[in-house]
Amino acid sequence: MPHHVECEPCLRGVIAPMLTPVNADHSLDLAGAREMCRWLASTGAVSAVFVRSGMGRMHTFTMEEARVLAATARDALPPGVHVVGGASGEWLGRERGERPDAGRYTAQAIELTNAYERMGLSAAVHILPEAIAAGAENAEERILAYFRSVHDATRIPIVLYQPAGLPPECRLTERLLERLLDLPRIAGLKLSTTDDEVYGPIAQMVRGRPFGLICGHEGYYRRGLAQGAVGVIGQGCNGYPEVLQAVQRAHAAGDDDLAARAEADTWRGLEITRGVDHTVALKQVLQRKGYAVQPYDRSGGALLSETEVDRIERALDRLREPYMAGRSAVERA
């Protein structure tokens, strides 16, 4: 089992990329955000909440919305549950193919990272800046300059984020990662892949460093842990975090059979909402469970029928039940 060196506590365990509650007009539903935090905390399995996440439609956020949502989550979560926040600049024209001005985008990232530090957030998450580097011949230099500027003007830990689907020129290479690791407050990376050939070389590079490597796909968590990962961020962290916590605990106990069973349940969880907008589906499920969350999403996904919500709720309950109420997954075997 790889030796884990110390890293930021907020990067360990199940990190929920919080779905962003919004009203029908897509304005923030702050009461719903507090309810979403109440739900995540109630599971007892979530170690940190990631606001303005990719699953929360990070590219739709204004600077003010990012600040307000971060402050709302900070105030709503109990002690011991960390808050990390997406801190990249605004890219409101992304869906229209527009690109932000590089200087303004970087300045906004610095401003938001410093705002998070003043709020007491544990870390700032920065997507590899496709917004200002995609298509550029000097993409690596643009990415490096962005992170150097943010790093040198801020004080809290910075987490890199490589989502699936980034243009090739915007993805981490060994050379780029080595240069970024020279910046001492680059504290971790969310790497969204299930490809061993992508994850493995990066895991090897950061092994032995005070660095939090995070699986950005929950179905890869068991394999990631074996390579030195310390945390997971994925849609299942919102709907069935207890299952992912079981993967983590079984791995720590050296019980790979149990970890493999929990991993299989993780993949079953992903199948439950296949073919529907899972962000809308979970909000509708939470409404049924007594959480005052509006069912809308900035994706524009259609509301599900009551029959479909009933099917999803029942399936999620069945999936989670063996891992709840103080029972370990061992007890179900």
State both tokens at 224.
């990631």
Helix (H) or strand (E) holding 48: strand 46-51
> Which amino acid appears at position 265 of this protein?
D
State both tokens at 332.
């179900």
Question: Would residue 204 count as lying in a domain?
Answer: yes
- pTM of the predicted model as reported, rounded to 2 decimal places: 0.95
49 φ, ψ (degrees, to nearest 5): -120, 130
Question: Would residue 169 count as lying in a domain?
Answer: yes
Name the 3-class secondary structure at 186.
strand
pLDDT in tens, the chain (333 residues): 344 457 899 999 999 999 999 999 999 999 999 999 999 999 999 999 999 999 889 999 999 999 999 999 999 999 999 999 999 999 999 999 999 999 999 999 999 999 999 999 999 999 999 999 999 999 999 999 999 999 999 999 999 999 999 999 999 999 999 999 999 999 999 999 999 999 999 999 999 999 999 999 999 999 999 999 999 999 999 999 999 999 999 999 999 999 999 999 999 999 999 999 999 999 999 999 999 999 999 999 899 999 999 999 999 999 999 998 554 433 333
Per DSSP (E only), the strands in the chain are 13-17, 46-51, 82-86, 123-127, 158-162, 186-191, 212-215, 231-232
Question: Can you give the CATH number for the domain in which 186 is found?
Answer: 3.20.20.70
Straight-line distance from the first to the last Cα atom of the chain, in angstroms, rounded to the nearest whole number: 25
Which domain, by its residues, includes 190? 10-240
Question: Would residue 265 count as lying in a domain?
Answer: no
The CA distance from 173 to 179, in Å, is 10
Domains: count for the chain: 1
